Structure 1
Amino acid sequence: MAELTNMARGSRNIAISSTSESRNLAFAIYREAEQSPVMQGIDPQAERRRAILRKVIAEQGDNLTAWSRDAGVNESTVRSFLEGRSNSMTAKTYEKLARARPGLTVAYLIGEEHTKRTVAVAGYVGAGDRVFTFDGDTMDGALEEIDIDIDPGEPVEAVIVRGNSQYPSLFDRDIIVYRRDPVPPDTLIGKQCVVRLADGRTLVKTIRRGSAPGFWNLESFNAPPEEDVVIERAVPVRIIVRG
């Protein structure tokens, strides 16, 4: 009888230990999840606005106390937002902060201001998604330029679509803006790019992996895929401005 009692106690201890371990594991998983942005309630828009405020303070050699005082806002309100204790500030607070420093706008402070800049047009896109570049005097002598809304620090060029051979993905007079600096093709899988091939052609295509390393398949809407081509240069399309 004593033996049975001891066995029962042992089983109970194992069960308790197992339950305890399960609870500890569940608690550890919860604590780990608790640190994630979703569980912490991190708002990407708020984080972007905090970064802008910090940038303004750094660029103007300012400090929060002086800025808040000049704006006539409560410093603790702005500090609470910057330190993540709150996720928003009122429109009135942004208005006062913008007025207190020259050159600032509310749109800039909340991350919604677009900056016009002049971008060189390097050529045009014709049939088969082929890019024809301006070269010296071959295209009436000079490069075109366009004004678009884009980050002023981003190195970009553009090509203009001629005709509707790429309909419905591209239309006549659409402007394709792309980064000027080349990027390794294996980082651009599934992305629309301007690519220059070993055979001399420049195309607007989506890059896919080929049958072997160093070879690539190219896709577009109205043309059959090109398989196992060699890419000399690839740059990602940044934006398409509808004509």
Structure 2
Amino acid sequence: MANNLRMLRDGRGWTQGEAAAALGTTRNQYVKLEGGSRRLSDKWIKLASDAYGVDPGDVVTDRSGTVPVAGYVGAGTEMHFYSECQGPFDEAPAPEDATPQTIAAEIRGQSLGPLFNGWRVYFDDRREAVTDDLIGRLCVVGLADGRVLVKQVLRGKAEGRFELHGQFGEPVLDADVAWAARVKSMMPG
């Protein structure tokens, strides 16, 4: 059971001391929990669940081999409301760097190139605002109008607006981005 604590901690980029503080315990106690030398009781599962913002089952269930396919992302500029009626639909093989928060989405469209239509894109660090480290990166972005796209994020001309680019097709200009997550990896579907 302790292996998921390590994956959860790594997914947040926390040190063992930071994880211990989030659980309200000492670093020494946390090391024992994470390493498996101390039993992960219901109390610790609940504390870890709250600290990491995941379901209790994600603390103890081995999901290292698969991740949920949450829905579809657009790789074009056409108007599709991908955020409505999304999954999870299926499970997909997990990439090597998967964390318990990693999810996959199927790419629909050809702005990344026809090869990537139908591929899966993997992401996990969803942010409610675009941060500087996402600029210039390929990201899954949720737009205020409900579309979810996979695009390179660049700063727009207006404050708080962004340009979203694919390899082909017209960019989405002056985009109102509600959330963004850097793409971890892509695999054929």
What is the TM-score normalised by the length of structure 1? 0.45
1:95-141: per-residue Cα shift (whole Å, max 9, x none)?
xxxxxxxxxxxxxxxxxxxx9522111112456166735727xx8xx
CA separation of 1:170 and 1:194: change in aligned 2, threshold 3 A: farther
Q: Name the counterpart of 1:207.
A: 153
Q: Name the counterpart of 2:131.
A: 186
CA separation of 1:128 and 1:147: change in aligned 2, threshold 3 A: same
CA separation of 1:60 and 1:119: change in aligned 2, threshold 3 A: closer
- AA aligned to 1:120 is P
User: By how many angstroms is 1:154 displaced?
Assistant: 4.5
Select the structure with the greater relative contact order (CA < 8 A; seq sep ≥ 6).
2
Is 1:117 paired with 2:65? yes
Could you tell me which of 41, 50, 59 is aligned with 2:35? 59
Q: Which has the higher helix share?
A: 1
Q: Name the counterpart of 2:107.
A: 161
Query: Are the counterparts in 2 of residues 161 and 174 from structure 1 also a CA contact under 8 Å?
Result: yes
Distance 1:221 1:176 in 2: 16
CA separation of 1:157 and 1:213: change in aligned 2, threshold 3 A: same
- AA aligned to 2:170 is P
Q: State the secondary structure of the residue aligned to 2:76.
A: helix
- AA aligned to 1:121 is V
Cα RMSD (Å): 3.2
The 5 A counterparts of 1:41-56 are: none
Distance 1:203 1:215 in 2: 15
List gaps (5 residues or longer) in structure 1. Answer: 1-54, 62-114
Is 1:219 paired with 2:165? yes
Distance 1:204 1:157 in 2: 14
Aligned residues: 130
1:50-83: per-residue Cα shift (whole Å, max 9, x none)?
xxxxx9xx9377xxxxxxxxxxxxxxxxxxxxxx
Q: State the secondary structure of the residue aligned to 1:185.
A: coil
User: By how many angstroms is 1:165 displaced?
Assistant: 2.5
CA separation of 1:144 and 1:236: change in aligned 2, threshold 3 A: same
What is the TM-score normalised by the length of structure 2? 0.56
User: By how many angstroms is 1:169 displaced?
Assistant: 6.7
- Percentage identity across paired residues of the two chains: 31
Query: Are the counterparts in 2 of residues 121 and 143 from structure 1 also a CA contact under 8 Å?
Result: yes
Distance 2:151 2:84 in 1: 20
Distance 1:169 1:184 in 2: 30
